[in-house]
């Protein structure tokens, strides 16, 4: 047998995939919303935990990238989707079976579940066989299934299922109702009354007619009269029904563990591809990033906040994308500029990108290079009220201190409007100090601030600004661009609009 | 079984879209009074006549087919009324059976369908009788086919077959249904089967199955049994209800198609009472330009006034433009309407209000009328007129007829003339036939001076004593002088020239 065990991990993760709990930074980066959307409607797979485990080595990331590469082929995607759909059906049948009372019925539901399973496995096997697969994941799966469908276990299951189902499918019977007497007999090809009536009156037909057939609500279970009838049908067909009973006893545990695991884990990819599909269709770029556990030269063009883009797209609003690049010893993006101009969104984007890259998934943007961090830290303003300004400042400092204690040079830090509620002097002093420490750590960081000075603390800091429409400074572009911090730019623009710049005012206030 | 009284080879289409210019046509040609006279209070006839008038025939043969049937109807009005009445009674009887099949259970659908069918059978027998009685009075291909079909299809063996079905559907010997199993081992595909005739002894010794009996006090058991019956009956109830629909559809179509002819009969009778002539027009295949009529009058006007109206003669063969000028209150609009109505009636297969008429079939009739009487020159009004003309331009094609009544009078004459000149020139070149009523001398004179072969100029004139009736006759446009007249009348002075 082969060594394939998982479509998510290139080698046995050794218990790492046990439910780890949501990372601290999820809410700040709005990744909680993303995961909520990914798992919605897929509750049966219990997927959330799979999105909480970042990968730290490039090979593990590549394993997923290659699987995604195969999934880019429509044929692979649809083969997998069909399989997943069938497995869902199978589980639905088993769940319903558990609620039924009459033995003949329970057995038939079980048979049907097994038949769906067998067909699903065979269909997947056939389709994978005809496809050009490249990833180790899918090649491993194919090899595994090749072996599995040849196994005695599977072939016996398939043969038994087919034989018993065919026998039952061929059962025909007739019921004669007269007063309170019910007689069940074999069916003997008596003529269909509705066909005869149709034939007689067809000559009058002028056009389309209404469908008068009642739609009956179908319950899975049956009443005692139906059950009595079924017992008599079984009596009319004793061998067929004995075959069914035997089948159930023999194939109680038909589901293969590795197949079951694949069925769950492949959803990790499918959910994400489905989630980003409407965004891609709107023309937003996604790319598999070049990842490195060493180089901190990161960058992306046309990238955006995934959670926000999903919301905007469903509201039919447009999405603004941004670029960033860090080269050589550049590590820290210091973002300033007018408020509500997209600074926080930009910061979140940077954090999201690094986490999504660690999951081995496509990330928003084109030409993306990212670093696989050991950890991600975020510092966003807290919602809860803290009585005094001093209390708030101190609380912030505590949290930042804690982060700096734990962070390493391999961490990613997202600092959003730190010290936003303190005096400029304090913000400059403390902010500069914090940034210097981050510089010393050599960690990647986005630092959103209103303090210009923080952007020029060394060669590792890069200044970026949120921007406005030049002619109408009240309108934000939500573009964050690389340029020197200039806290006066916004004031100058708005002054010009009202004719209050120096030049304009000189002319207006003529002598 | 198809009535095929409106077309030789297909049903009259009650669902076809009316042309987009339907509303304008109805309003401008005052179709309501024509339709009202045809309907004589019957809503169905009103609807059918509306569609027949607006969904014009384009093939002279198809027009002739209706004309021949209509001519016979005018000879046999009593048979037409009886046929229409019989179809109506049948549909009314069907309605009297209580129960809405929409929400009902299969068994109650089946019950009411059987009742309805029993009623229908009586009417089918009466229809068959009428065919026997009257078929020899009709000779047009449409009626000959129709009556022959009734006699052939509705024969005794057929009625016996229906009776057999109705008897079987009363289930005197219980119900036999076949079934198979779902993938959940529940019964499905219940299909009602015809039972073999079985003698009492045969039944007693039949060991081919197993049976059980629902105990008297088992209410749930009886409910289950009844649910099973509903499933069993479902398909048969559907078939029976559809059979009722088929027959219903047959009577409906018969009523619709014969209703058109009854409407024509009603109209002919009204006009005859009023002493007005009618004539079957000669339709000329599209392509040629024909419009020659004598004593052509406005049927709608006649139906709404107590006095006789004047018929006009027009000889406009080979003419693609007929421009009508002349005195106000001179009957220009009436003339225009009489042409429009005659065109629609001709292409519906009807007679027209005239002594005679020969006219080419066109692909569509359009009207562009000045909408309100007031003369103020607001720009909104011209916009509105232009917008309507633009809509017409979206739809009109060569070989259509356009009737313009004082178009583009919402602006000053110079602008109006210029717009009209350009519109007209374009449409005429495209092959549209246009009748244009106007008081814009500049426009009419411009066309007249060029003396084109394809244009005819008519003028409304007061009778020689200056009173009614007005006549339309050939005549070149004259400059209007009533402006000056009025000035003089009011100011008692000449205009300084």
- Tens digits of residue pLDDT in A427-454: 777 888 889 999 999 999 999 987 888 9
A165 to chain B: nearest residue by CA?
A: B183
The superfamily CATH assigns to domain A282-508 is: P-loop containing nucleotide triphosphate hydrolases (3.40.50.300)
Lowest mean per-residue pLDDT among A178-182, A191-195, A468-472, B353-357: A468-472
For residues B329-356, average pLDDT = 94
pLDDT, position A333: 96
Q: What angle do CA A50, A51, A55 make, to 5 degrees?
A: 90
B224 lies within 8 A of chain A by CB: yes
Confidence of residue B273 (pLDDT cuts 50, 70, 90): very high
Query: Which three-class secondary structure string do you get for B284-299?
Result: ECCCCCCEEEEEECCH
pLDDT, position A208: 85
- CA of B199 vs chain A CAs: smallest distance (Å): 16
pLDDT, position B328: 66
- Tens digits of residue pLDDT in A105-123: 999 999 999 999 999 999 9
pLDDT, position B490: 42
Local structure of B150: helix, strand or coil:
helix
Lowest mean per-residue pLDDT among A137-151, A398-412, B96-110, B325-339: B96-110
A206:B187 CB<8 A: no
Chain A CB contacts of B178 under 8 Å are 172-174, 187, 190
Token readout for A176 is: 């004669």
B237 lies within 8 A of chain A by CB: yes
B217 lies within 8 A of chain A by CB: no
Token readout for B135 is: 């078929």
Beta strands in B69-184 (DSSP E): 175-181
CA distances from A134 to A116, A149, A271 (A): 28, 21, 21
pTM for the whole structure: 0.63
Peptide bond into B469 cis (omega under 30): yes
Element (H, E) at A363: strand A363-364
B176:A174 CB<8 A: yes
Chain B CB contacts of A109 under 8 Å are 183-185
A112 lies within 8 A of chain B by CB: yes
> β-strands A299-303, A366-371: how paired?
antiparallel
Local structure of A239: helix, strand or coil:
helix
A226 lies within 8 A of chain B by CB: yes
> Helices in A315-468 by DSSP H: which ranges?
343-358, 389-406, 424-441
Chain B CB contacts of A172 under 8 Å are 178-180
User: Residue A510 burial (CB < 10 Å; 0-12/13-18/19+)?
Assistant: exposed
Domain limits of chain B? 1-16+55-197+213-273, 282-477
- Is residue A169 pLDDT above 90, yes or no? yes
Number of A–B residue contacts, CB under 8 Å = 208
Token readout for B142 is: 């449409």
A108 to chain B: nearest residue by CA?
A: B184
CA A195 to CA B414: how far, in whole Å? 74
- Is residue A419 pLDDT above 60, yes or no? yes
Residue A201 CA to its chain's centroid (Å) = 57
Confidence of residue B487 (pLDDT cuts 50, 70, 90): very low
* Mean per-residue pLDDT over chain A, rounded: 88
Domain limits of chain A? 55-169+253-266, 282-508
- Is residue B151 pLDDT above 90, yes or no? yes
* CB atoms closer than 10 angstroms to residue A500: 12
B161:A200 CB<8 A: yes
Residues near B335 by beta carbon (within 8 Å), at least 6 away in sequence: B296, B298, B312, B314, B324, B437, B458, B460, B472
Percentage, residues of chain A above pLDDT 70: 88
Q: Which of A190, A225, A232 sits opposite B195 (nearest CB)?
A: A190
- Is residue A1 pLDDT above 50, yes or no? no
Q: Which residues pair with B187 in a beta bridge?
A: B181
For residues B456-468, average pLDDT = 71
- Percent of chain B that is helix, strand, coil (3-state, to 5): 50, 15, 35
pLDDT, position B104: 77
- CA of A190 vs chain B CAs: smallest distance (Å): 6
pLDDT, position B326: 82
Buried/exposed A89-120: b ≥16 CB within 10 Å, e otherwise? bbbebbebbeebebbbbbbbbbbbbbbbbbbb
ipTM of the complex: 0.77
pLDDT, position A508: 42
> Helices in B327-370 by DSSP H: which ranges?
332-347
B145 lies within 8 A of chain A by CB: no
Choose among A337, A287, A340: nearest CA to A491: A337
Element (H, E) at B149: helix B141-153
Phi, psi (deg, nearest 5) at residue B382: -65, -40
Task: Please report, in angstroms and rounded to a whole number, the separation of the first and last CA atoms in chain B.
Answer: 78
B222 to chain A: nearest residue by CA?
A: A180
Residues near A346 by beta carbon (within 8 Å), at least 6 away in sequence: A305, A322, A324, A335, A446, A448, A464, A466, A480
Interface of B with A in 100-139 (CB under 8 A): 101, 105-106, 109
- Tens digits of residue pLDDT in A272-331: 999 999 999 999 999 999 999 999 999 999 999 999 999 998 888 889 999 999 999 999
Q: What angle do CA A479, A485, A488 make, to 5 degrees?
A: 95
B239:A179 CB<8 A: no
B166 lies within 8 A of chain A by CB: no
Residue A166 CA to its chain's centroid (Å) = 40
pLDDT, position A499: 43
CA A215 to CA B103: how far, in whole Å? 11
Q: Which of A172, A184, A193 sits opposite B236 (nearest CB)?
A: A193
Which residue would you say has higher pLDDT here, B139 or B488?
B139
Residue B340 CA to its chain's centroid (Å) = 16
Chain A CB contacts of B227 under 8 Å are 223
Chain B CB contacts of A236 under 8 Å are 209-210
Among B108, B124, B164, B185, which would you mutate to test the A interface (most chain A Cβ atoms within 10 Å of its Cβ)? B185
CA B55 to CA B64: how far, in whole Å? 16
A3 lies within 8 A of chain B by CB: no
B246:A201 CB<8 A: yes
- Tens digits of residue pLDDT in B168-208: 898 888 899 999 999 889 999 999 998 876 666 666 666 67
Q: Pick one of 3.40.390.10, 3.40.50.300, 3.40.50.970, 3.40.50.880 as the CATH number of B282-477.
A: 3.40.50.300
């Amino acid at each position: 047998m082969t060594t394939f065990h998982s479509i998510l991990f290139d080698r046995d993760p050794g218990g790492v995939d046990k439910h780890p709990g949501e990372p601290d930074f999820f809410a700040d980066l709005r990744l909680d919303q993303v995961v909520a959307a990914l798992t919605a409607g897929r509750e049966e797979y219990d997927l959330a935990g799979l999105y909480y485990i970042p990968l730290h080595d490039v090979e593990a990331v590549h394993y997923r990238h290659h699987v995604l590469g195969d999934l880019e082929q429509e044929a692979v995607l649809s083969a997998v989707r069909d399989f997943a759909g069938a497995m869902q059906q199978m589980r639905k049948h088993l769940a319903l079976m558990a609620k039924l009372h009459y033995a003949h019925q329970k057995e038939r539901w079980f048979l049907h579940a097994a038949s769906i399973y067998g067909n699903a496995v065979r269909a997947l096997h056939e389709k994978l066989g005809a496809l050009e697969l490249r990833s180790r994941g899918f090649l491993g799966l194919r090899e595994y299934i090749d072996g599995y469908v040849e196994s005695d276990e599977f072939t016996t299951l398939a043969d038994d299922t087919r034989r018993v189902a065919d026998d039952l499918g061929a059962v025909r019977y007739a019921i004669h109702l007269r007063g309170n007497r019910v007689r069940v007999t074999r069916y003997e090809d008596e003529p269909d009354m509705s066909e005869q009536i149709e034939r007689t009156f067809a000559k009058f037909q002028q056009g389309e007619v209404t469908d008068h057939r009642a739609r009956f609500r179908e319950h899975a279970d049956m009443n005692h009269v139906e059950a009595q009838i079924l017992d008599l049908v079984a009596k009319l067909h004793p061998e067929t029904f004995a075959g069914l009973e035997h089948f159930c006893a023999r194939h109680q545990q038909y589901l293969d563990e590795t197949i079951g695991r694949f069925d769950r884990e492949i959803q990790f990819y499918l959910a994400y591809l489905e989630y980003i599909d409407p965004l891609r269709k709107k023309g937003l770029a996604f790319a598999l990033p070049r990842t490195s556990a060493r180089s901190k030269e990161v960058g992306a063009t046309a990238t955006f906040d995934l959670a926000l883009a999903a919301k905007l797209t469903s509201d039919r609003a447009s999405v603004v994308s941004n670029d960033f690049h860090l080269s050589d010893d550049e590590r820290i993006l210091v973002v300033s500029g007018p408020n509500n101009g997209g600074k926080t969104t930009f910061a979140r984007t940077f954090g999201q990108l690094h986490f999504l890259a660690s999951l081995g998934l496509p990330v928003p943007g084109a030409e993306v290079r990212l670093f696989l961090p050991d950890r991600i830290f975020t510092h966003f303003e807290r919602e809860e009220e803290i009585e005094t300004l001093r209390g708030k400042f101190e609380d912030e400092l505590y949290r930042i201190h804690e982060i700096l204690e734990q962070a390493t040079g391999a961490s990613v830090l997202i600092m959003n409007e730190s010290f936003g509620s303190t005096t400029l002097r304090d913000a400059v002093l403390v902010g500069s100090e914090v940034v210097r420490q981050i510089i010393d750590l050599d960690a990647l960081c986005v630092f959103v601030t209103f303090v210009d000075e923080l952007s020029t603390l060394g060669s590792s800091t890069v200044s970026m600004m949120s921007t406005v429409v030049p002619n109408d400074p009240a309108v934000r572009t939500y573009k964050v661009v690389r340029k020197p911090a200039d806290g006066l730019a916004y004031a100058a623009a708005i002054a010009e609009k009202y004719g209050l710049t120096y030049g304009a005012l000189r002319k207006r206030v003529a002598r | 079984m198809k009535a095929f009284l409106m077309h030789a080879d297909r049903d009259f289409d009650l669902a076809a879209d009316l042309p987009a210019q339907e509303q304008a046509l109805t309003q401008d040609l005052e179709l309501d009074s024509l339709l009202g006279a045809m309907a004589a209070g019957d809503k169905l006839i009103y609807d059918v006549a509306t569609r027949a008038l607006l969904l014009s025939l384009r093939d002279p043969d198809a027009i002739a087919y209706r004309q021949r049937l209509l001519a016979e109807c005018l000879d046999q009005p009593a048979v037409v009324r009886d046929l229409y009445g019989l179809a109506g009674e049948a549909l009314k009887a069907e309605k009297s059976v209580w129960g809405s099949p929409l929400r009902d259970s299969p068994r109650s659908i089946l019950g009411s369908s059987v009742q309805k069918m029993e009623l229908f059978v009586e009417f089918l027998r009466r229809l068959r009788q009428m065919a026997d009685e009257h078929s020899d009075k009709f000779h047009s291909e449409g009626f000959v086919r129709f009556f022959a079909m009734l006699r052939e299809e509705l024969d005794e063996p057929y009625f016996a077959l229906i009776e057999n079905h109705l008897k079987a559907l009363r289930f005197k010997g219980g119900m036999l249904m076949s079934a198979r199993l779902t993938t959940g081992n529940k019964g499905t595909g219940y299909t009602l089967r015809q039972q073999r005739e079985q003698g009492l002894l045969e039944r007693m010794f039949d060991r081919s199955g197993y049976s059980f009996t629902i105990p008297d006090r088992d209410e749930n058991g009886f409910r289950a049994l009844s649910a099973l019956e509903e499933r069993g009956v479902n398909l048969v109830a559907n078939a029976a209800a559809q059979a009722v629909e088929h027959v219903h559809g047959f009577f409906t179509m018969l009523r619709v198609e014969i209703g058109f002819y009854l409407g024509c009969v009603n109209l002919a009778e009204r006009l005859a009472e009023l002493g007005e002539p009618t004539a079957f027009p000669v339709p000329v295949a599209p392509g040629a330009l024909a419009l020659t009529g004598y004593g052509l009058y406005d049927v709608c006007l006649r139906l709404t006034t107590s006095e006789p109206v004047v018929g006009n003669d027009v000889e406009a063969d080979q003419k693609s433009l007929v421009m009508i000028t002349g005195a106000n209150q001179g009957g220009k609009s009436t003339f225009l309407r009489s042409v429009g109505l005659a065109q629609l009636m001709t292409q519906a297969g009807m007679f027209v209000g005239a002594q005679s008429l020969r006219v080419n079939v066109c692909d569509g009739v359009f009207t562009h009328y000045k909408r309100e009487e007031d003369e103020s020159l607001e720009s909104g009004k011209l916009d509105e007129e232009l917008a309507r003309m633009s809509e017409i331009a979206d739809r009109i094609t060569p070989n259509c007829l356009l009737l313009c009544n004082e178009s583009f009078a919402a602006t000053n004459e110079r602008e109006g003339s210029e717009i009209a000149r350009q519109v007209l020139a374009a449409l005429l070149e495209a092959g549209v036939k246009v009748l244009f009523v106007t008081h814009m001398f500049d426009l009419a004179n411009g066309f007249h001076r060029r003396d084109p072969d394809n244009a005819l100029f008519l003028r409304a004139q007061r009778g020689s004593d200056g009173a009614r009736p007005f006549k339309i006759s050939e005549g070149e446009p004259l400059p209007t002088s009533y402006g000056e007249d009025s000035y003089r009348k009011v100011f008692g002075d000449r205009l300084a020239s």
